[in-house]
């Protein structure tokens, strides 16, 4: 009998013995025979097992069916309140829409319907563990609610401390992304486990709505840590805008929907502090900020306007009226992309967080993880960073899409350190 897995999203497996539930249904003397034999009701396996204790509050109701499909799941707490849940895309479990509570008892009633129309309904009751005393991993979701982002915007989750390799699959199962219209993607971890990115093979299509859930609260992470919180956000993708910066010409090309709409002279990093070459994403936008490198080999403090962060290391695009005489001809910055005050103001009104910025021809290459570097590698390299299997048919379109980007603001919470030059 072919096994069908039914109803899931992306969650951690619950460490409880499965309960195998074989259907009990009233016999029918009507059309319930197949091949001369009476049709059997479906067989159903459910987790957590009945009377399971010490279940994590991140638990899901796992379902596995032979000879049918799950047609109903109802979860209630010990006060009779129904707990909303959503099915996983692979059909393996139902994920509660909110984290379960510690030291509470829950009942899941699961119904499966066989090919003959017969049904099996069983209940499993389990109790969650007390509130964890283990240290929590601090997670940061860099995808805010009710914003409009650029078409290169990766969904990014950062972790402190970083997630070890052996725990990344469990964490990744609790990270959910839905797109409307559908545009499937994949997650990819940076080598040290400090960040994980989600993107599609091609840039997001303008007008796409992206809903994200980072459901990590109470999730066991390795032996010694737990997840910190359950976060949700929904935002949209705006118009295509991208920036291309060429060190050879000292010019920035601004493109909208793939067409150049403006050229801007730039001054990049001087030889001792070169700008990184690679594909970056605008991470933050500040109308006013202060660059403070006190304690570095080249200390300075300077106030700047219209600054847009590109890397965690402190590379920005910003207004630099002090270098306008060098812009278009000589590199004099500490690694930032200097533009005139007027150009910086114009850029702030025509770009947004999530727009792609490509820099080429400088002395150093962008390091993976120094910023949101999801687009700095090919799709084939990107999916190697997933801790879970990626569908083999998922890949870029045959023809490259138009240049990515968007218009007008929106920024996730700023990174605590601000440097630049």
Residue identified by tokens 């309960």 is: 19
Class of residue 146 by CB neighbours under 10 A (exposed 0-12, middle 13-18, buried 19+): exposed
pLDDT at 378: 97
Does the pLDDT value for residue 26 go beyond 60?
A: no
pLDDT at 232: 97
Nearest to 250 by CA among 266, 227, 272: 266
- Digit-coded pLDDT (tens) for 335-389: 999 999 999 999 999 999 999 999 999 999 999 999 999 999 999 999 999 999 9
- Per the omega criterion (within 30 degrees of 0), is the bond before 214 cis? no
- Digit-coded pLDDT (tens) for 118-173: 999 989 999 999 999 999 999 999 999 999 999 999 999 999 999 999 999 999 99
Degrees (nearest 5) of the Cα angle 98, 161, 220?
40
Whole-angstrom distance, CA of residue 278 vs CA of residue 370: 11
Does the pLDDT value for residue 1 go beyond 80?
A: no
What residues have CB less than 8 Å from 409, skipping those under 6 apart? 285, 348, 352, 353
CA contacts within 13 A on the Cβ side of 196:
33
For the chain, the C-alpha Rg in angstroms (whole number) is: 26
To which H or E segment does residue 188 belong?
strand 186-189
| Local confidence band at 400 (pLDDT 50, 70, 90 cut-offs) | low
pLDDT at 90: 85
What residues have CB less than 8 Å from 190, skipping those under 6 apart? 196, 197, 368, 369, 373, 385
pLDDT at 299: 81
CA contacts within 13 A on the Cβ side of 324:
9
Nearest to 108 by CA among 64, 47, 58: 47
Residue 122, token pair as written in the block? 């069983």
């Amino acid at each position: 009998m072919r096994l069908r897995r039914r109803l899931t999203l992306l969650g951690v497996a619950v460490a409880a013995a499965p309960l195998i539930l074989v259907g009990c249904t009233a016999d029918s003397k009507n059309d319930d025979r197949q091949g001369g034999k009476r049709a059997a009701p479906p067989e159903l396996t459910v987790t957590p097992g009945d009377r399971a204790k010490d279940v994590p509050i991140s638990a899901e109701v796992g379902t596995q069916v032979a000879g049918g499909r799950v047609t109903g799941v109802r979860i209630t707490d010990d006060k009779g309140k129904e707990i909303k849940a959503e099915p996983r895309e692979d059909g393996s479990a139902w994920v509660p829409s909110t984290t379960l509570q510690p030291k509470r008892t829950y009942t899941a009633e699961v119904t499966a319907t066989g090919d003959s129309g017969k049904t099996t309904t069983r209940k499993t009751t389990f109790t969650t563990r007390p509130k964890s005393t283990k240290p929590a991993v601090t997670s940061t979701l860099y995808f805010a609610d009710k914003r409009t982002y650029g078409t290169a915007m990766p969904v990014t989750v950062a972790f402190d401390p970083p997630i070890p390799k052996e725990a990344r699959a469990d964490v990744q199962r609790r990270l959910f992304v839905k797109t409307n219209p559908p545009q499937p993607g994949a997650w990819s971890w940076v080598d040290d486990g400090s960040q994980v990115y989600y993107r599609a093979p091609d840039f997001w299509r303008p007008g796409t709505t992206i809903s994200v859930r980072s459901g990590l609260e109470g999730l066991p992470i390795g032996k010694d840590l737990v997840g910190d919180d359950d976060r949700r956000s929904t935002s949209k993708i705006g118009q295509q805008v991208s920036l291309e910066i060429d060190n050879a010409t000292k010019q920035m090309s601004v493109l909208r929907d793939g067409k150049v709409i403006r050229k801007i002279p730039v001054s990049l990093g001087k030889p001792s502090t070169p700008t990184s070459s690679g594909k970056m994403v605008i991470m933050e936008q500040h109308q006013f900020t202060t660059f403070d490198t006190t304690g570095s080999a080249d200390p300075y403090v300077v106030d700047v306007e219209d600054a847009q962060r590109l890397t965690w290391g402190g590379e920005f695009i910003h207004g630099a009226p002090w270098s306008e005489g060098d812009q278009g001809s000589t590199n004099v910055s500490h690694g930032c992309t200097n533009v005139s005050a007027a150009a910086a103001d114009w850029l702030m009104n025509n770009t947004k967080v999530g727009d792609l910025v490509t820099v080429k021809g400088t002395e150093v290459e962008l390091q993976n993880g120094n910023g949101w570097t999801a687009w700095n590698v090919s799709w084939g390299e990107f999916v190697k960073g997933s801790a879970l299997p990626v569908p083999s048919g998922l890949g870029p379109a045959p023809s490259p899409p138009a240049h990515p980007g968007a218009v007008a603001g929106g920024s996730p919470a700023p990174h605590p350190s601000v440097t630049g030059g």
